[in-house]
Each structure stands twice: as C-alpha cells, then as structure tokens.
Structure 1
Amino acid sequence: MTGKLYGIGVGPGDPELLTLKAVRLIKECDVIAVPGKQKEETVAYKIVKQAVPEIAEKECLEVDMPMTKDKEKLAQSHKAAFEKVSQVLDAGKNIAFLTLGDPCVYSTYIYIHQRIQQAGYETEIVSGIPSFCAVSARLNQGLVERSEMLHVIPSSYGIEEGMKLSGTRVLMKAGKKMGQVKEQLKKMNVQASMIENCGMENEKIYHSIEEIPEEAGYYSLIIVKEQ
C-alpha cells in the first residue's frame, strides 16, 4: 500500500499560527519533506520546529526547489522532486510536505502536488494562514470591507495591470523589484503599508510608501488601499 502526501501550510512565520490539524499531521506522518537542500536552512522547517521540536528526530526528505523563472530548470526540478517523493510514497510512508503560508497561494509545493496526484497517489492539501491575512492582522487593520474587491498580485511579474483594479491590492514577492514598485506607488493616489518577514524574529513594519526601502527581502508583502 502506498503512502499519502500532505501539503501542509505552516503560515507566514509565527509558529503560533500553525493550525491544530497541521501540528497533528506533522506528528503523525512518517516523513517530513521540506523545499530546500538542507532542512535547517529551510524557513518552513524553522517555523515548525519551534512548535513541534520532535520533528528534528523524524526522517526528512530535502527537496531542492530553485527560485527561477527558467521553464526548463523548473521542469527538471519538478521531475526530480516527483521522483524523490514518489519513492517514499511507494515505500508506504506518509509525507508531510511543509510549505510557507497556504499551499494554494503561489506555492512551489503545488507543482509537486499536481504531479503526484496525476500519477494516482493519494494527496491532501492542509490550508495555512495566508501571508496577506497575517500582514493585515499585524497592521491591526481590515483587508477588505463591504463591496471592496481584493486582488493578489505577484509583483515580480510587474504590477501595472493589477494596479488599475479598484479595491485592496496585495503585492507579493516584490523582492528585487522593490525600487520599481515603490516608484509606481508614488505616482498613484494610494496608501501602502509593508511588512518584511511577518511573524519572524527579524520582522520589519513600514506604514507608508516613503518608509518602504528600495531593497527588501523575499518575504516582503505590501498592502495597497485607496486614499
């Protein structure tokens, strides 16, 4: 009998935001999988270890998921990841694959999930708190009200079209393009706040466009609202 793959959302950074279901499955599964070459350097693993220290004793499958837009490299990494995961499942072991935030929102995990599912293995996605919900809560404000629309925009691909939409706009993964994003925001009649590393020890909060730095880390999220 083959094992089952669980995609476990661990939330944005605060270990106390792990769900009870996530904690239970992490403890119950035979194997932990992480998106990285070394588990100790993987953010998702570091978060979970604070809440479930016993994972240090569990078998861990380290799955390299390079940050690239190169389609060929991505295809190769997804294929290699599938082979690693499927071998463990074929041995009858259940896997808890840890992923930041929610597995359904711009997650690298979902590509492995799709391949494993298409191959006929049993899979389940376990929702985690999305980063934009955690950021809004940390800013102590609502995300949308009444008839307002919410738009989640992957900033590394450009924000021009997304910023034309009305309502609250969430800019994710601006990272290396932070300077360009900030310049575009300055030209618009909007208010913006950003949190870098929400819920982590090195968390930084910026309450205005002017405060946002030209360079910021990968785990930076901007919430843009109408004036």
Structure 2
Amino acid sequence: MSGKLFGLGVGPGDPELLTIKALRLIKESDVIAVPGNVTQESVAYQIVKGVYPELDEKYLIPIPMPMTKDPAVLEENHNKAAQQVESFLREGKQVAFLTLGDPTVYSTYLYVHKRILEKGYEAEIVSGITSFCAVAARLNMGLVEMAEPLHVIPATYNAKNMDEVLKLPGTKVLMKTGRKMEQVRESIVNSGQKAVMIENCGMPDEKIYETAEAIPKQAGYYSLIIVKEQ
C-alpha cells in the first residue's frame, strides 16, 4: 500500500502561527521533508521546532531548492525532489513536506505536489497562514475593506513594470522583491502612495519600516511590502 504526501503550510515565521492540523500531521508522519540543503538551517524547520522540540526524533530529509530562475535547473531539482519523496511513498510511508506560509502561494512545494499526483500517489495540501495576512496583523491594519481589490505581486518579475503595477486600484502586496528592492522602492516613493515593509515577520530578527522612504535599498529574502493608496 502506497503512502501519502502532505504539503504543510507552517506560517510566516512565528511558531505560534503553526496550525493545530499541521502539528498533528507532523507528529503522525513517518518522514518530514524540509526545504533546504541542511534541515536544521531551514526556516521552516526552525518554526516547527519552536513548538515541537521532538522534531529531531523524526526521520528528516533535506530537499534542496536552489534560488534560480533557470528553467532547466529548476526542472532538474523539482524532479529530484519528487523522486526523493516517491521513494518513501513506495514504502507506504506518510510524508509531511514543510513549506513557509501557505503552500498555494508561490510555494516550491507545488512543483513536487503536481509530480507526485501525476505518478498516481495521494497528495494533500494543508493551508497555513500567509505572509501578507500575518504582516497586516502584525502592523495592526487591514489589507482591504469594502470593495477594495487586493493584488499579490511577485515584485522581482515585475520590477521593470512597477510604475504601472502601482497604478492598480486598492492594496498591492509586493512579495519576492529580492535584488530589485532599490528599483521597487524608488517606484513606490515616486507613486506617492503609503507603504510599509516587514523583514522577517514573526522571527527574532524582525524589522519594520513604516514609510516608503524608510524602506532600505537592500533587504533579506523574507521581506514583504504593502502599498496602499493615499
């Protein structure tokens, strides 16, 4: 009998935002797949470890996920990740794959999920708290009200068109800004809109920047910007 894969959203950083369901499935699973080259260095691992100290007693496997846009490299690594997971499913093991935030939002887990389903195995997505919802709550503000639209934008891929993106009505959530931070920041300042940014939300080294002008020209990978019309 084949095993089953669960893609678990572990939230944005604060261990207390891990859901009861995710924690239960982690405890019940035979194998815990952790994104990264070294399991103990993974942010997802550290989040779960914060509420489940016994995590190291589980069978942990690292799943390398390189930060690249090269389609060939991505395809190769996604296939390797699926093969790793499949080897345990063939043995009838239950595998929990940890992923930051929610697995349905820009998650590398989805590439593994699709491949496992194509191979005929069972796979289920378990929602986690998204980074932008956690950021809005941390800032004590709402994301949208009444008929306001919400736009979630991968900023790295849209940096060249950011001036046009910022003309969208409602609230803009800018994720994955990365190396384009300076360019994105300049566009926000020029737009005259209100913006706030959190780096490492819910983590010990969290930083909050309350205006567009305060946003640094460089920031870490786990940075998220919320832009609102004046």
Contact 1:151 1:162 in 2 (8 A): no
Scaled by the length of structure 2, the TM-score of the pair is 0.97
C-alpha contact (below 8 Å) 2:166/2:191 kept by paired residues: no
Q: How big is the shift at 1:164?
A: 2.5
Q: 2:208 aligns with which of 205, 210, 226?
A: 205
Aligned length: 227
Aligned partner letter, 1:59? Y
Looking at structure 2, the residues matched to 147 and 162 of structure 1 have their Cα atoms a distance apart, in angstroms, of 19
SS of match in other structure, 2:166: helix
Does the CA-based 8 Å contact 2:64-2:81 persist in structure 1?
Answer: yes
Q: What secondary structure sits across from 2:225 in the alignment?
A: strand
Structure 1 residue 126, shift from structure 2 partner: 0.5
1:37 and 2:40 are equivalent in the alignment: no
Instruction: State the match for 1:173 in structure 2.
Output: 176
- Tell me if structure 2 keeps the 8 A contact 1:17–1:129: yes
Q: Does 1:111 align with 2:111?
A: yes
Q: Secondary structure at the match of 2:65?
A: coil
Once residues 107 and 162 of structure 1 are traced to their aligned partners in structure 2, the CA distance between those partners, rounded to angstroms, is 22
Question: What code does the residue aligned with 1:115 have?
Answer: R
Runs of 4+ in 1 over 4 A off after TM superposition: none
Residue number in structure 2 paired with 1:186: 189
The SS at the match of 2:191 is coil
Specify the code of the residue in structure 1 equivalent to 2:100. Answer: L
1:13 corresponds to: 13
Q: Does residue 223 of the first structure (1) align with residue 222 of the second (2)?
A: no
Please give the alpha-carbon distance, in whole angstroms, between the structure 1 residues aligned to 2:26 and 2:92.
16
Could you list the runs of 5+ residues in structure 2 that have no partner in the other structure? none
- Counterpart CA distance in 1 for 2:195 and 2:133 is 15
> Counterparts in 2 of 1:59-138, with a 5 A limit?
59-138=59-138
Percent identical pairs in the alignment equals 63
SS of the equivalent of 1:62 reads strand
Aligned-partner Cα distance in 2 for 1:9–1:43: 12
By how many angstroms is 1:162 displaced? 2.6
In 1, the alpha carbon distance for the partners of 2:68 and 2:90 equals 29
Q: Calculate the TM-score normalised by the size of structure 1.
A: 0.98
Following TM superposition, by how much is the alpha carbon of 1:78 offset from its aligned partner in structure 2, in angstroms?
Answer: 0.7
Hey, what's the Cα distance between the residues in 1 that align with 2:55 and 2:41? 14
Q: Deviations over 1:181-200 (max 9, x none)?
A: 00001110210000000000
Contact 2:11 2:131 in 1 (8 A): yes
In the alignment, structure 1 segments of 5+ residues that lack a partner are none
Q: What does the per-residue CA deviation read over 1:159-215, in whole Å, with 9 as the maximum and x for residues that have no partner?
A: 424323100000001121110000001110210000000000000001001111110
